[in-house]
Structure 1
Amino acid sequence: MTEQTFSLKQSGVRWLWLAALIFVADIAIKLVVMDNMGYGWANRIEILPFFNLLYVHNYGAAFSFLSEQGGWQRWLFTAIAFTVTAMLTYWMSKLPATEKWNNVAYALIIGGAIGNVFDRVVHGFVVDYLDFYWGSYHWPAFNLADSAIFIGAAMIIFDGFRHKESK
């Protein structure tokens, strides 16, 4: 066994299984939604007084950012996701596998990013299905991939504050 192979096995890339799990779960849920739900807000399924399931398309990014553009944003967001994925994977390769917090955060972001990239490349849009609301105000619909990205980013931000306080 070479030294390079040994170091990769001991690095944070061992946590990429979590990214793969997020990706598979995200795509599976999206396929179930696409195959079993009618499109649009009129076909939503009310689950709780503040939560619906629905099937909508998002041609943009978070909060439908740039969704009204001519389609170029699809490739911009794809390129950004691949760049961020490569960067986070590289960082994971430099972290020890025992550094769970950051490796989990990076894996969540990678899994979510690749889940949404899959949608952009295959469908030309991202499938969203989670609708939280209060009264008549609805948070923009999102999906498991978006949730994983958000949680991973929040973990990174929290870790930044945590380390500042300890220094």
Structure 2
Amino acid sequence: MKKSTLIALVSTLVMVLDYVTKRIILAKLAPYDRIEVFPFLNIVYVENKGAAFGMFANLGNNFFIGISVIALVVILVYMSKIPKGLELFSISLIFGGAVGNLINRIMIGKVTDFIDFYVGTWHWPAFNVADSALTIGIILFMLAAIMQSKKPSSGQ
């Protein structure tokens, strides 16, 4: 599969899944409504005006839109230099997740989070499909970097 095809497929899949799930949440739930799916998983509607876990919400939506656009430009430049494999797949996940949350910020001024994992009374901060893609992409990118660093260099 061509590099550009993989990037387009993975990123688009993430963006579409993120957009559709957020639209469903916005259409079906009021803020802070909760639907128990399993004894450790709720679907909730949380509005996040900040970064991860709602941090820095006081910086405003325009700040996060600007940071997102800069990050996406850096990712696009980096994508052109990636050969293939796990690193390319991971960057495609990161790109799709970043665009998914950027679309949400531009359209409604905040990010819609809705996945709520918990144990007893302890809840992980709510997140969404884009956040999941970003997290998985970052983990895979680090794994690819570790694997690459363990390969013997061609000069040895």
Please report the TM-score for the alignment, with normalisation by the length of structure 2.
0.90
* Structure 2: gaps (5+ residues): none
Matched, 1:93 2:85: no
Structure 1 residue 91: deviation in Å?
A: 1.9
Structure 1 counterpart of 2:45: 55
SS of the equivalent of 1:129 reads: strand
Structure 2 counterpart of 1:142: 127
Structure 2 counterpart of 1:21: 13
TM-superposition CA deviations, 1:63-110 (whole Å, max 9, x none): 11112x1xx4322221222222122222222234xx121111111111
Matched, 1:82 2:73: no
Structure 1 residue 39: deviation in Å?
A: 1.7
Please report the TM-score for the alignment, with normalisation by the length of structure 1.
0.84
Structure 1 residue 17: deviation in Å?
A: 2.4
Give me the whole-angstrom Cα distance separating, in 1, the residues matched to 2:63 and 2:41: 31
AA matched with 1:30:
K
Give me the whole-angstrom Cα distance separating, in 2, the residues matched to 1:136 and 1:117: 31
Structure 1 residue 55: deviation in Å?
A: 0.7
How well do the aligned residues superpose, as a CA RMSD in angstroms? 1.6
Structure 2 counterpart of 1:156: 141
Size of the alignment, in residue pairs? 151
SS of the equivalent of 2:147 reads: helix
AA matched with 2:86:
W
